[in-house]
Amino acid sequence: MRVAAARALSVLAWPLLIANSVALTLWAMRSRAMDPELAAAIGGVISGAACLLLERVIPFEPAWRKSRDDLRSDVGHALLGVALAPVLIRSAAMPLLVRASLALGAATHSPAGLWPTRWPLAAQVALALLASELGGYTVHRAQHRWRWAWPVHAIHHDARRVYFFNGARLHAGDTAMTLVAAVFPLIILGAPPAVLAVVSAIASAHIPLQHVNADLRFGPLEYIISAPTLHRWHHSRDPREGERNYGGLLIVWDLVFGTYFNPRDRRPPADVGLYEGEVVPSGFWQQVLWPLRRRARAA
């Protein structure tokens, strides 16, 4: 009985938590009882709380259950890089993005710009996911290849374990790069607020699940979704494994560009983190300032 319950949980946890976040956001839009972006954020919090339980009930790697003196930094980056930075950046950039969208609409003689607003909402969300993931994949791969961008992203990879809160271990600069590449193009193209809110709901619920230290099963969906089974390889200290699986929500662009990696004959390594010879400061504020200091030294 216990084995059957654990197996059901490993299969159903992801779709149920994603569905919950989307349903809450759709309810907020239709009832107008809550800001849809706030509803999406609440969906993410619920997903994170569920991940905390999943890591206890069906853990994947027991060694990752113990803190590596990382919780304080993770909380700091979650507050600054994930909760505060996106709000400030989007608020500051929105007037310019709206002007760009209106200019595109005028150039194409379409009030909605290039976005297919007459499509059903589900089709628009699917298109938005593919488009935003292409931008996210591109900037994520660039962060691993470009010397000036890597220090900002290295803070995420400095974690010595993969657990649900790693998804929030993002420098504010990392968040800014992702917004510019993955979200801002959708706004310029004229994607409606409802589409952006649903995409946000999916992302908020998925990111903790992508890093969760729980034995979740995805089966054939591992060729569509950037599942934790795939993302653990991305945190490997071996560049031959770590320079793979760049997708955030979807894994399809890794398949298209040949960076998909999912060996069936072995488990991802328990020893995760930065590649050999790389070092990131341990304190939160030291990590926030480190990319700037490193850039200044290089100059």
Q: What is the mean pLDDT of the chain?
A: 93
> 171-195, pLDDT tens digit by residue?
999 999 999 999 999 999 999 999 9
CA Rg, the chain, in Å?
A: 19
The answer on pLDDT for 299 being more than 70 is no
Q: What is the pLDDT at residue 293?
A: 84
Residue type, 3: V
Element (H or E) spanning 195, and its range? helix 193-211
Q: What is the pLDDT at residue 34?
A: 94
Q: What is the pLDDT at residue 287?
A: 94
Summarize the confidence of residues 134-142 as an average pLDDT: 98
> Structure pTM?
0.94
How many C-beta neighbours within 10 Å does residue 56 have? 11
Could you tell me if 13 and 216 are in contact, meaning their C-beta atoms sit under 8 angstroms apart? yes
Q: What is the pLDDT at residue 161?
A: 94
* Alpha-carbon separation of residue 250 from 115, 134, 154, 271 (angstroms): 21, 9, 21, 25
Q: What is the pLDDT at residue 1?
A: 62
Tokens of 134: 């292409």
Confidence band, pLDDT 50/70/90 cuts, at residue 225: very high
The answer on pLDDT for 298 being more than 80 is no
Q: What is the pLDDT at residue 260?
A: 98
> 46-76, pLDDT tens digit by residue?
999 999 999 999 999 999 988 878 888 999 9
CA 19/CA 272 separation, integer angstroms: 31
Confidence band, pLDDT 50/70/90 cuts, at residue 197: very high
DSSP string, 143-162: HHH-TTTHHHHHHHHT-SS-
Summarize the confidence of residues 96-108 as an average pLDDT: 88
CA 23/CA 27 separation, integer angstroms: 6
Say whether 50 sits in a helix, a strand or coil.
helix
Residue 20 or 278, more confident: 20
